[in-house]
Amino acid sequence: MSRILVTGSADGLGRAAAESLLSAGHEVVVHARNQQRAAGLDPLVDRGADIVVGDLAQRDAVRRLAAELSDAGPLDAVVHNAGVWSGPAVMPVNVIAPYLLTALLRGPRRLVYLSSSSHFGGRPSLDGVDWRGRSAGSYSDSKLFVTTLAAAVARLRPGVLSNAVDPGWVPTRMGGPDAPDDLELGHETQEWLATGHDRQALTTGGYWYHRRLLQPHRAVHDEAFQDRLLRALAEEMGAALD
């Protein structure tokens, strides 16, 4: 069995993934943005989950979480599920937090990043990107960047299985009740990549939709763009990914 962190697990896809992983017998670390949302995770904690609390929009909180997680024992996998749709937190939560956790947590051998079909509308340009969240960021750009991050990690860390998952437009709080996609398939793909042992689950550098490997935006596997993105993030955070 594996020890797995699922960020943004207070509700939606993250909650569903955490519940399913617990039911399968894995050790799960759930995450909530604040103490109020953490209280809603009590049923999972009662079932044996560990919990960490911290606002992923705040860099100091992300660094504290990384230190807390490192002190608590090794992780086998991280599901970078947390994400926001709009507003100033888009770049900090969708890109900066998973980058910083990836740079600081060196133990996990499987990394799963939350992508979206919206990444196809992203611009492979880093000019003027507001990483600090002083203004609203582009959701499409953020998903292109994090999908590129997943591919870059797969290239730079050959011993790590790093993949991006498009869960589809699913009926979560973010997606809305009328979203047409399958919620179960959305979170099952995250779990499968975090724990599965069949040949496809051992793929790295993939962009997945409902367990199907798809071709992402052409910039995702452009190594020059990957390197520019990693340099920008390393300079911004003072933490290099290697």
**The CATH homologous superfamily of the domain defined by 3-237:** NAD(P)-binding Rossmann-like Domain (3.40.50.720)
pLDDT digit string (tens) for 32-74? 999 999 999 999 999 999 999 999 999 999 999 999 999 998 9
Strand partners, 38: none
Identify the helix (H) or strand (E) that includes residue 148: helix 139-156
Of the candidates 149, 131, 154, 169, the one whose C-alpha atom is nearest the C-alpha of residue 217 is 149
* Annotated catalytic residue, options 99, 143, 207, 209: 143
Specify whether 113 is catalytic: no
Q: What is the pTM of this model?
A: 0.95
Could you give the 3-state DSSP secondary structure of residue 6? strand
Instruction: For residues 27 and 174, give the distance between their C-alpha atoms in angstroms, rounded to a whole number.
Output: 27
Specify whether 139 is catalytic: yes
pLDDT at 220 over 90: yes
pLDDT digit string (tens) for 195-216? 999 999 999 999 999 999 999 9
Amino acid at the residue 46: D
Instruction: For residues 167 and 89, give the distance between their C-alpha atoms in angstroms, rounded to a whole number.
Output: 20
Instruction: For residues 41 and 38, give the distance between their C-alpha atoms in angstroms, rounded to a whole number.
Output: 5
Where residue 176 falls among pLDDT bands split at 50, 70, 90? low
Q: Could you state, in order of their start, the residue ranges of all structural domains in the chain?
A: 3-237
**What are the backbone angles phi and psi of residue 36, rounded to the nearest 5°?**
-60, -45
Of the candidates 43, 42, 68, the one whose C-alpha atom is nearest the C-alpha of residue 54 is 68
